[in-house]
Amino acid sequence: MALTKPISPDSIVFVGGDQVRFHQSLHFRPRQIENYRFLFVESGGGEFLFADETLPIDGRILLMLAPGPREIRYRDTRPVSYTYVEFESRFRLIDTSFVSYPESSPHFHTLAGLLRSIVTNKGAGASLLISAAIELARSHPSRSDSASEFDTRIQHVLDYIDRHLNHPLRVAELAREAGLSEPQFRRVFRKVMSIGPKEYLLQERMNYARRILQSEGLRVGEVADLLQFETVYQFSNQYKNVHGHSPSQDSSFRRYL
Protein backbone atom coordinates (compact mmCIF):
# COMPACT_ATOMS: atom_id res chain seq x y z
CA MET A 1 0.00 0.00 0.00
CA ALA A 2 1.21 3.49 -0.83
CA LEU A 3 -0.72 5.50 1.73
CA THR A 4 0.22 5.84 5.37
CA LYS A 5 -2.44 8.25 6.61
CA PRO A 6 -6.08 7.22 7.27
CA ILE A 7 -8.50 7.24 4.36
CA SER A 8 -11.50 9.52 4.83
CA PRO A 9 -14.84 8.43 3.35
CA ASP A 10 -14.96 11.89 1.76
CA SER A 11 -12.05 10.89 -0.48
CA ILE A 12 -13.93 7.84 -1.82
CA VAL A 13 -16.64 7.88 -4.50
CA PHE A 14 -18.65 4.69 -5.04
CA VAL A 15 -18.97 3.89 -8.76
CA GLY A 16 -20.78 0.54 -8.75
CA GLY A 17 -20.78 -3.06 -7.67
CA ASP A 18 -22.55 -6.35 -8.25
CA GLN A 19 -22.50 -10.12 -7.81
CA VAL A 20 -21.77 -11.82 -11.14
CA ARG A 21 -22.18 -15.49 -12.06
CA PHE A 22 -21.83 -17.26 -15.39
CA HIS A 23 -21.08 -20.73 -16.76
CA GLN A 24 -19.02 -20.09 -19.86
CA SER A 25 -15.59 -18.92 -20.93
CA LEU A 26 -15.37 -15.16 -21.27
CA HIS A 27 -12.71 -12.78 -22.54
CA PHE A 28 -12.66 -9.11 -21.50
CA ARG A 29 -10.29 -7.65 -24.09
CA PRO A 30 -7.54 -5.15 -23.15
CA ARG A 31 -8.88 -1.81 -21.98
CA GLN A 32 -7.89 1.11 -19.81
CA ILE A 33 -9.63 0.99 -16.40
CA GLU A 34 -10.18 4.37 -14.74
CA ASN A 35 -11.20 3.30 -11.22
CA TYR A 36 -10.08 1.13 -8.33
CA ARG A 37 -11.88 -2.14 -7.75
CA PHE A 38 -12.18 -4.60 -4.89
CA LEU A 39 -12.85 -8.02 -6.39
CA PHE A 40 -13.80 -11.18 -4.49
CA VAL A 41 -13.61 -14.25 -6.75
CA GLU A 42 -15.57 -17.06 -5.09
CA SER A 43 -15.06 -19.67 -7.83
CA GLY A 44 -13.68 -19.93 -11.32
CA GLY A 45 -10.41 -20.07 -13.21
CA GLY A 46 -8.53 -17.86 -15.62
CA GLU A 47 -6.06 -15.00 -15.55
CA PHE A 48 -5.84 -11.23 -15.27
CA LEU A 49 -3.30 -9.64 -17.62
CA PHE A 50 -1.83 -6.29 -16.64
CA ALA A 51 0.74 -4.13 -18.43
CA ASP A 52 3.67 -5.86 -16.73
CA GLU A 53 2.28 -8.97 -15.01
CA THR A 54 -0.12 -11.89 -15.31
CA LEU A 55 -2.16 -13.02 -12.31
CA PRO A 56 -3.56 -16.59 -12.44
CA ILE A 57 -7.02 -17.06 -10.91
CA ASP A 58 -7.88 -20.49 -9.57
CA GLY A 59 -10.61 -20.48 -6.93
CA ARG A 60 -11.20 -18.07 -4.08
CA ILE A 61 -9.14 -14.88 -3.95
CA LEU A 62 -9.72 -11.27 -2.99
CA LEU A 63 -8.00 -8.44 -4.88
CA MET A 64 -7.64 -4.68 -4.92
CA LEU A 65 -7.09 -3.65 -8.55
CA ALA A 66 -5.55 -0.28 -9.44
CA PRO A 67 -6.55 1.88 -12.42
CA GLY A 68 -4.64 1.01 -15.58
CA PRO A 69 -4.61 -1.37 -18.56
CA ARG A 70 -6.26 -4.70 -17.88
CA GLU A 71 -7.35 -7.83 -19.73
CA ILE A 72 -9.34 -10.68 -18.18
CA ARG A 73 -9.84 -14.24 -19.37
CA TYR A 74 -12.11 -16.74 -17.63
CA ARG A 75 -11.96 -20.40 -18.58
CA ASP A 76 -15.09 -22.56 -18.68
CA THR A 77 -13.66 -25.41 -16.59
CA ARG A 78 -15.88 -24.35 -13.68
CA PRO A 79 -18.68 -21.81 -13.04
CA VAL A 80 -17.43 -18.28 -12.36
CA SER A 81 -18.81 -16.34 -9.39
CA TYR A 82 -17.48 -13.03 -8.12
CA THR A 83 -18.45 -9.88 -6.24
CA TYR A 84 -16.93 -6.53 -7.15
CA VAL A 85 -17.03 -2.97 -5.84
CA GLU A 86 -15.68 -0.18 -8.04
CA PHE A 87 -14.71 3.21 -6.65
CA GLU A 88 -12.74 6.40 -7.24
CA SER A 89 -10.13 7.67 -4.79
CA ARG A 90 -8.51 11.09 -4.52
CA PHE A 91 -5.35 9.36 -3.31
CA ARG A 92 -3.07 6.73 -4.80
CA LEU A 93 -3.83 3.60 -2.81
CA ILE A 94 -1.36 1.01 -4.09
CA ASP A 95 1.98 1.12 -5.90
CA THR A 96 1.32 -1.93 -8.08
CA SER A 97 -1.35 -3.08 -10.54
CA PHE A 98 -2.99 -5.17 -7.83
CA VAL A 99 -2.72 -6.43 -4.27
CA SER A 100 -4.03 -9.92 -3.52
CA TYR A 101 -5.43 -11.28 -0.26
CA PRO A 102 -5.55 -15.10 -0.41
CA GLU A 103 -8.01 -17.09 1.66
CA SER A 104 -5.31 -17.65 4.27
CA SER A 105 -5.11 -13.87 4.81
CA PRO A 106 -6.35 -12.98 8.32
CA HIS A 107 -8.83 -10.36 7.06
CA PHE A 108 -10.07 -12.29 4.01
CA HIS A 109 -13.55 -13.07 5.31
CA THR A 110 -14.09 -9.65 6.86
CA LEU A 111 -13.15 -7.93 3.59
CA ALA A 112 -15.39 -10.28 1.61
CA GLY A 113 -18.24 -9.53 4.03
CA LEU A 114 -17.76 -5.78 3.57
CA LEU A 115 -17.93 -6.14 -0.22
CA ARG A 116 -21.08 -8.27 -0.01
CA SER A 117 -22.65 -5.72 2.34
CA ILE A 118 -21.97 -2.86 -0.10
CA VAL A 119 -23.52 -4.78 -2.98
CA THR A 120 -26.45 -6.09 -0.93
CA ASN A 121 -27.25 -2.58 0.30
CA LYS A 122 -27.03 -1.26 -3.28
CA GLY A 123 -24.26 1.16 -2.39
CA ALA A 124 -25.89 2.69 0.70
CA GLY A 125 -23.12 3.92 2.98
CA ALA A 126 -20.60 2.62 0.45
CA SER A 127 -17.95 5.30 0.95
CA LEU A 128 -17.72 4.53 4.66
CA LEU A 129 -17.57 0.77 4.07
CA ILE A 130 -15.00 1.09 1.27
CA SER A 131 -12.74 3.27 3.42
CA ALA A 132 -13.07 0.65 6.19
CA ALA A 133 -12.11 -2.08 3.69
CA ILE A 134 -9.06 -0.07 2.59
CA GLU A 135 -7.92 0.40 6.18
CA LEU A 136 -8.43 -3.29 6.90
CA ALA A 137 -6.53 -4.27 3.75
CA ARG A 138 -3.64 -1.99 4.73
CA SER A 139 -3.49 -3.52 8.21
CA HIS A 140 -2.67 -6.97 6.84
CA PRO A 141 0.06 -8.03 9.30
CA SER A 142 3.30 -9.82 8.62
CA ARG A 143 2.77 -13.01 10.60
CA SER A 144 5.18 -15.03 12.70
CA ASP A 145 5.07 -18.82 12.67
CA SER A 146 2.85 -18.91 15.77
CA ALA A 147 0.56 -16.26 14.27
CA SER A 148 0.28 -18.36 11.12
CA GLU A 149 -0.74 -21.31 13.27
CA PHE A 150 -3.43 -19.19 14.89
CA ASP A 151 -4.57 -17.96 11.48
CA THR A 152 -4.95 -21.56 10.35
CA ARG A 153 -7.12 -22.30 13.37
CA ILE A 154 -9.24 -19.21 12.84
CA GLN A 155 -9.53 -20.02 9.13
CA HIS A 156 -10.91 -23.43 10.08
CA VAL A 157 -13.49 -21.72 12.29
CA LEU A 158 -14.49 -19.29 9.52
CA ASP A 159 -15.03 -22.20 7.15
CA TYR A 160 -17.02 -23.98 9.87
CA ILE A 161 -19.25 -20.91 10.29
CA ASP A 162 -19.78 -20.69 6.51
CA ARG A 163 -21.02 -24.31 6.49
CA HIS A 164 -23.33 -23.86 9.49
CA LEU A 165 -24.95 -20.44 9.01
CA ASN A 166 -28.38 -21.96 9.61
CA HIS A 167 -27.31 -23.20 13.08
CA PRO A 168 -27.28 -21.11 16.31
CA LEU A 169 -23.57 -21.65 16.97
CA ARG A 170 -22.03 -20.67 20.29
CA VAL A 171 -18.60 -19.19 20.91
CA ALA A 172 -17.68 -22.17 23.10
CA GLU A 173 -18.35 -24.50 20.16
CA LEU A 174 -16.19 -22.35 17.86
CA ALA A 175 -13.39 -22.35 20.44
CA ARG A 176 -13.46 -26.17 20.49
CA GLU A 177 -13.23 -26.19 16.68
CA ALA A 178 -10.14 -23.96 16.94
CA GLY A 179 -8.61 -26.13 19.65
CA LEU A 180 -8.37 -23.15 22.03
CA SER A 181 -9.87 -22.22 25.37
CA GLU A 182 -12.80 -19.83 25.02
CA PRO A 183 -10.97 -16.77 26.46
CA GLN A 184 -7.93 -17.46 24.30
CA PHE A 185 -10.13 -17.99 21.24
CA ARG A 186 -11.91 -14.67 21.80
CA ARG A 187 -8.56 -12.84 22.01
CA VAL A 188 -7.07 -14.52 18.95
CA PHE A 189 -10.23 -14.15 16.87
CA ARG A 190 -10.47 -10.41 17.59
CA LYS A 191 -6.77 -9.94 16.86
CA VAL A 192 -7.05 -11.70 13.50
CA MET A 193 -10.50 -10.48 12.39
CA SER A 194 -10.73 -7.05 14.09
CA ILE A 195 -14.16 -8.11 15.38
CA GLY A 196 -15.36 -10.42 18.16
CA PRO A 197 -16.55 -13.96 17.28
CA LYS A 198 -20.09 -13.34 18.55
CA GLU A 199 -20.41 -10.16 16.50
CA TYR A 200 -18.93 -11.82 13.42
CA LEU A 201 -21.29 -14.79 13.71
CA LEU A 202 -24.32 -12.53 14.06
CA GLN A 203 -23.26 -10.44 11.09
CA GLU A 204 -22.71 -13.47 8.85
CA ARG A 205 -26.01 -15.12 9.84
CA MET A 206 -27.98 -11.95 9.20
CA ASN A 207 -26.24 -11.42 5.85
CA TYR A 208 -27.19 -15.01 5.00
CA ALA A 209 -30.78 -14.33 6.09
CA ARG A 210 -30.91 -11.26 3.89
CA ARG A 211 -29.69 -13.15 0.83
CA ILE A 212 -32.38 -15.79 1.37
CA LEU A 213 -35.12 -13.22 1.89
CA GLN A 214 -34.19 -11.37 -1.28
CA SER A 215 -33.70 -14.37 -3.55
CA GLU A 216 -35.74 -17.37 -2.37
CA GLY A 217 -39.24 -15.94 -1.86
CA LEU A 218 -39.57 -17.13 1.75
CA ARG A 219 -41.65 -15.53 4.49
CA VAL A 220 -39.87 -13.92 7.42
CA GLY A 221 -41.13 -16.66 9.73
CA GLU A 222 -39.81 -19.35 7.41
CA VAL A 223 -36.35 -17.80 7.43
CA ALA A 224 -36.48 -17.52 11.23
CA ASP A 225 -37.27 -21.25 11.38
CA LEU A 226 -34.54 -22.07 8.87
CA LEU A 227 -31.97 -20.26 11.02
CA GLN A 228 -33.41 -22.03 14.12
CA PHE A 229 -34.52 -18.95 16.06
CA GLU A 230 -36.93 -19.62 18.91
CA THR A 231 -39.24 -16.77 17.87
CA VAL A 232 -39.76 -14.53 14.86
CA TYR A 233 -39.42 -11.56 17.23
CA GLN A 234 -35.93 -12.67 18.27
CA PHE A 235 -34.90 -13.07 14.62
CA SER A 236 -36.39 -9.72 13.59
CA ASN A 237 -34.71 -7.94 16.48
CA GLN A 238 -31.25 -9.30 15.59
CA TYR A 239 -31.85 -8.62 11.90
CA LYS A 240 -32.70 -4.99 12.63
CA ASN A 241 -29.62 -4.62 14.84
CA VAL A 242 -27.40 -5.62 11.90
CA HIS A 243 -29.20 -4.12 8.90
CA GLY A 244 -31.01 -1.18 10.49
CA HIS A 245 -34.50 -2.22 9.38
CA SER A 246 -36.92 -5.13 9.74
CA PRO A 247 -36.51 -8.30 7.63
CA SER A 248 -39.93 -7.74 6.03
CA GLN A 249 -38.45 -4.81 4.10
CA ASP A 250 -36.05 -7.21 2.36
CA SER A 251 -38.50 -10.04 1.80
CA SER A 252 -39.27 -10.86 -1.84
CA PHE A 253 -42.25 -13.06 -0.84
CA ARG A 254 -44.85 -10.59 -2.17
CA ARG A 255 -43.33 -10.90 -5.64
CA TYR A 256 -44.36 -14.54 -5.68
CA LEU A 257 -48.00 -13.91 -4.77
Q: How confident is the model at residue 145 (pLDDT cuts 50, 70, 90)?
A: very low
**Which homologous superfamily does the CATH classification assign to the domain defined by 10-138?**
Regulatory protein AraC (2.60.120.280)
* pLDDT in the model for residue 151: 65
Q: How confident is the model at residue 107 (pLDDT cuts 50, 70, 90)?
A: confident
Higher pLDDT, 149 or 200: 200
* pLDDT in the model for residue 140: 56
pLDDT over 70, % of the chain: 89
Summarize pLDDT for 66-100 with one digit per residue, the tens. Answer: 999 999 999 888 889 999 999 999 888 888 898 88
In the predicted structure, residue 256 carries a pLDDT above the cut 50: no
Summarize pLDDT for 217-242 with one digit per residue, the tens. Answer: 788 999 999 999 999 999 999 999 88
Among 10-14, 147-151, 189-193, the minimum mean pLDDT is found in: 147-151
The 8 Å CB, 24+ separation contacts for 161-166 are 161/200, 161/201, 161/204, 162/204, 165/204, 165/205, 165/208, 165/227, 166/208, 166/226, 166/227, 166/228
Per-domain residue ranges of the chain: 10-138, 145-256
In the predicted structure, residue 149 carries a pLDDT above the cut 90: no
In this prediction, residues 96-105 reach a mean pLDDT of: 81
The CATH class, in words, for 145-256 is mainly alpha
Query: What global pTM score does this model have?
Result: 0.56
Residue 184 to residue 191: CA distance in whole angstroms? 11
In this prediction, residues 130-139 reach a mean pLDDT of: 83
* pLDDT in the model for residue 53: 85
